[in-house]
Amino acid sequence: MVGAGWKNFARGGAVSVATVIVMTVTLAIIGSLIFLSALLTFTLDSIRDKVGVSVYFVTTASPNEIFALKDKIMQLPQVAEVAYTSREQALEDFRTRHANDQLTLQALDELGENPLDASLEIKAKDPAQYESIVSTLSTTPALSVSGSSIIDRINYEQNKDAINRLSKAITAVREIGLAVVIIFALASILIAFATIRLAIYTAKEEIGVMRLVGASNAYIRGPFIVAGVVTGALAALVVIIGMFPLMWYAGHKTASWLGGFNFFSYYTENFVFIFMVLFVSGIFLGGAASILAIRRYLKV
């Protein structure tokens, strides 16, 4: 059966070549969706990393009290990361940001003391979870030895609109991305189906003879399914090999204005995943399209 499938593919000549080309385009679309999805994920993660909630402490709060609260926050399942900034570090960062603003630095020096608070920068696993984190901090406040709250303020309200917009944007992008993948997947199946149907149609007389001599449906289908699988596998190899120079060029040209996302680095780091997706997709599309075409149009 496998040998007959290879013979069917080889005898197809120009039709087989055309089928491989169409399948190559189809798999190239699928490959493009992989990279587009990776780019969108990278972009959303970059934006999400810039959004957070800061907890500022009163100047009398000791580092031990702050670190105790930090440990409690880290135990919350919604929290991904908590970073501590001391008063001294906050002052140093402030001076660095305003290095060219002599009036501000002069006013700071005239105070004679550090007016800045220590803080904790909280990063949630999902932007939609910031509200529950802030609610937890509000309902179970951290207290000093004297019984007063060590938290001065939380900047959630100032960032609330930006966080909500980001949450909605992430949800919308995921839903749109899923819809695009489904649409292109269906289009890919239809394209592969139409092309392989043409290849099978050229062997219509041969199929008729095989049925007259009593060949079973499985025996007739087998070679065409193998030919479809071969077509898909070859197309996948063409796409995978062709991606190497294309991603190398795109990676060097676009990394600087895509926020650091490098197509070539993603290609090399995820080569096994990309190879498996394209190879399995090629085999599935070729085999499934062959089965559908021979059942639907040749009435086998």
Domain ranges of the chain: 2-47+166-296, 52-157
The first and second tokens of residue 96, run together, are 């660095």
DSSP code of residue 140: S
Q: Give the pLDDT band (50/70/90) at residue 5.
A: very low
- For 7, residues 6+ apart whose C-beta sits below 8 A from its C-beta are 223
List of residues 6+ apart from 15 with CB closer than 8 A: 198, 199, 202
Phi, psi torsion values for 83, nearest 5 degrees? -115, 135
Mean pLDDT, all residues of the chain: 77
Residue positions counted in the chain:
300
Q: Select from 31, 98, 23, 6 the least CA-distant residue to 266.
A: 31
State which H helix or E strand residue 32 sits in: helix 14-49
Q: What is the pLDDT of residues 237-261, one digit of tens each?
A: 999 999 999 888 887 777 667 667 8
Largest CA distance in the chain: 104
Average pLDDT of the segment spanning 116-142: 81
Task: Count Cα neighbours of 298 within 13 Å in the Cβ-side half-sphere.
Answer: 27
User: In DSSP terms, which residues pair with 81 in a beta bridge?
Assistant: 123
For residue range 136-187, list pLDDT tens digits in order.
887 776 666 666 788 888 887 666 676 677 667 777 777 777 777 677 767 7
Q: On the CB side of 98, how many CA atoms lie within 13 Å of its CA?
A: 14
Q: Map residue 53 onto helix, strand or coil.
A: strand
Query: Which class does domain 52-157 fall in?
Result: alpha beta
CB atoms within 10 A of CB 259: 11
Most confident of 1-10, 102-111, 198-207: 102-111
Measured CA to CA, the distance from residue 290 to residue 199 in angstroms comes to 9
Which residue, chain included where needed, has tokens 């499985």? Answer: 218
Instruction: Please give the torsion angle defined by the CA atoms of residues 9, 15, 16 and 21, in that order, rounded to the nearest 10 degrees.
Output: -170
Residue linked to tokens 């239809």: 190
